[in-house]
Amino acid sequence: MYAIEDGITQSLLATWVRCRQEAAYVLDGWESAAPKRALQVGSLMHEVVANWHGSGITKMPNHKWRKEAVQAGDDLAQVENDLAMVAALLPGYITQSRKKDKKRKWVDVERLFDVNWNGYRLRGRVDGLFQVGKKFWLLETKTTSRIDEEALKLALNFDFQSMFYTVAMHQYLGKPIAGVLYNLIRKPQLRCGKAETQPMFWKRVADDIIKRPDWYFVRFEVKFSKKQLAAFEQELDHKLFHFKKWVAGQSHTYKNESACRSRWNCSYLKACGTGCMDGYKQTKKLFSELD
């Protein structure tokens, strides 16, 4: 059973803010019984980016990934497609980041933090930490199919994950965070032609990535002012206070019906819609993102 002393991640708190019923399912260990894919483009790209920035490794660990996919029972045809996509993206990303990262000193990648902030245990993992001069910056990498740059620029000014990590890593390092480098990688949207073999198609994709690096690799530097961070810390403290009361049973659990269907359906839509947990299973796994 979850206790507040186990810690609070930004993912858990964001889930609770979105829908208390969803958070209750998560803390009770419920998840879909349908098999989950062990490997997909986002997680694969995340790993190769971390390997590159952390150790300068440029090789694709395909053997390890294929082994994990077989163990998880993944669709191997889809896995091979994902591996080919990441293999096409990686050279372009390395070339582009090498040009732009000359003044950045990489301190760490995939850094776990576990800090006490205002009496609350905050936990998480940041994608990257680097220095420019004496200033520390965070890296946050996302792989996506669609990038609405104008909307994203506005949203990043108060992005919960970025600000949560900024506050927590300030506490962790004992030094302020200058900002967050939001590192977006766009998935190729080209389609295989009828006369193309798979090797021909992925060669064409890789060539397109090299030709249009600014389309596939988009970065935003986000700086939060002292005033912005002070306002966020006040809001964060308020959310944590009410989350703690809820965990202690001093506040109600209810559904947020407006969060059930958006770009993606909530994974617990069937549970709320039928009132039973058929098609779900309970595990004891919490904070799997910290593994």
Where residue 140 sits, what CATH number does that domain have? Answer: 3.90.320
195 lies in the same domain as 290: no
Domain boundary among the residues 173, 188, 223 is at 223
- Separation CA 67–CA 72 (nearest Å): 9
59 lies in the same domain as 173: yes
pLDDT exceeds 80 at position 81: yes
Residue 231 lies in a domain: no
Structure confidence by residue, pLDDT tens digits, 177-232 = 999 999 999 999 999 999 999 999 999 999 999 999 999 999 999 999 999 999 99
120 lies in the same domain as 94: yes
- Give the chain as a DSSP string: ---GGG-EEHHHHHHHHH-HHHHHHHHTTEEESSPPPS--HHHHHHHHHHHHHHH------HHHHHHHHHHHT--HHHHHHHHHHHHHHHHHHHHHHHHH-TT-EEEEEEEEEEEEETTEEEEEEEEEEEEETTEEEEEEEEEES---HHHHHHHGGG-HHHHHHHHHHHHHHSS-EEEEEEEEEEPP-----TT--HHHHHHHHHHHHHH-HHHHEEEEEE---HHHHHHHHHHHHHHHHHHHHHHTT-S-----GGGSBSSSB-TTHHHHHHSS-TTEEE-----GGG-
Output the average pLDDT for the chain: 94
The predicted structure's pLDDT at residue 262: 83
For residue 259, the enclosing domain spans 16-34+238-291
216 lies in the same domain as 256: no
User: Do the beta carbons of residue 147 and residue 156 sit within 8 Å?
Assistant: no
Residue 249 lies in a domain: yes
248 lies in the same domain as 218: no
Domain boundary among the residues 223, 255, 276 is at 223
- Separation CA 54–CA 108 (nearest Å): 6
The predicted structure's pLDDT at residue 39: 75
Residue 176 lies in a domain: yes
Residue 120 lies in a domain: yes
Residue 230 lies in a domain: no
180 lies in the same domain as 152: yes
Q: How confident is the model at residue 72 (pLDDT cuts 50, 70, 90)?
A: confident
Residue 5 lies in a domain: no
289 lies in the same domain as 209: no
Cβ atoms < 10 Å from Cβ of 111: 18
Residues in contact with 273: Cβ distance below 8 Å, sequence separation at least 6, in sequence order: none
pLDDT exceeds 90 at position 86: yes
Residue 4 lies in a domain: no
Instruction: Judge residue 29's burial from the number of C-beta atoms within 10 Å of its C-beta, 0-12 exposed, 13-18 middle, 19 or more buried.
Output: middle
Torsion of CA 129, 222, 213, 69, to 10 degrees: 50
20 lies in the same domain as 104: no
Query: What total number of domains does the chain contain?
Result: 2
92 lies in the same domain as 23: no
Structure confidence by residue, pLDDT tens digits, 5-64 = 999 999 999 999 999 999 999 999 999 988 777 779 999 999 999 999 999 999 999 999
- Separation CA 77–CA 42 (nearest Å): 17
158 lies in the same domain as 272: no
Residue 50 lies in a domain: yes
Residues in contact with 75: Cβ distance below 8 Å, sequence separation at least 6, in sequence order: 37
- Separation CA 1–CA 20 (nearest Å): 17
The predicted structure's pLDDT at residue 148: 87
173 lies in the same domain as 275: no
